Amino acid sequence: MMEALRRIIRGHVLRLSFTVAFPCLVATVASVVITVAYVVAIAYVVVTVAYGVVTVAYGVVTVFSVVVTVAYVVVTVFSVVTTVVSVVVAVFSVVAVAHVVTVAYVVTVAYVVVAVFSVVAVAYGVVTVAYVVTVAYVVVTVAHVVAVAHVTLDTVILATINTLKVFIVARVCVNAVSSVRVRLFG
């Protein structure tokens, strides 16, 4: 009679153990899934930050390229203007009288001054626009990186909290099973 009673109790204990162990198994699987999501989020942050660094470097290189190109254009224009002025002065010196040559020289100098100011103004405008566009692009990229990092940090915090919850539930389940066994079998 006692042996039959012990068998019945053992069967109930096994069923109770399975009932408690199944949620523990589900909690463990959920913990693994949360950990994988956490690793994926960290990898995404690393890739995004690397992309931001490359973008900033590309912007700096672009600005330097624009500055070098503008400087080359300015030097070329100065060379052309100097050549034209030399030719004009030589022609007026050969063909015209001293007064005409003087007037032509003054007009040419005035023209050269105006041309130089125009070239400098255009070059400054081009460099300024390129700089403003690059700075704006860098600001947008940095804002994107900050936003992604913020979202990822929130995800990490939630994942950590959920993982702790899962471990607590699993611990409670294990304690419950141990308590039942101790009470039934001593």
For 151-181, write each residue's pLDDT tens digit.
778 877 887 887 788 777 777 777 776 776 6
Residue-level pLDDT at 35: 80
Q: Do residues 120 and 73 make contact, with C-beta atoms less than 8 angstroms apart?
A: no
97: left (phi over 0), alpha (psi -120 to 50) or beta: beta
Whole-prediction pTM value?
Answer: 0.39
What is the mean predicted confidence (pLDDT) over 67-91?
78
Q: Kindly report the number of other CB atoms within 10 A of residue 173's CB atom.
A: 19
- Structural domain boundaries of the chain? 2-185
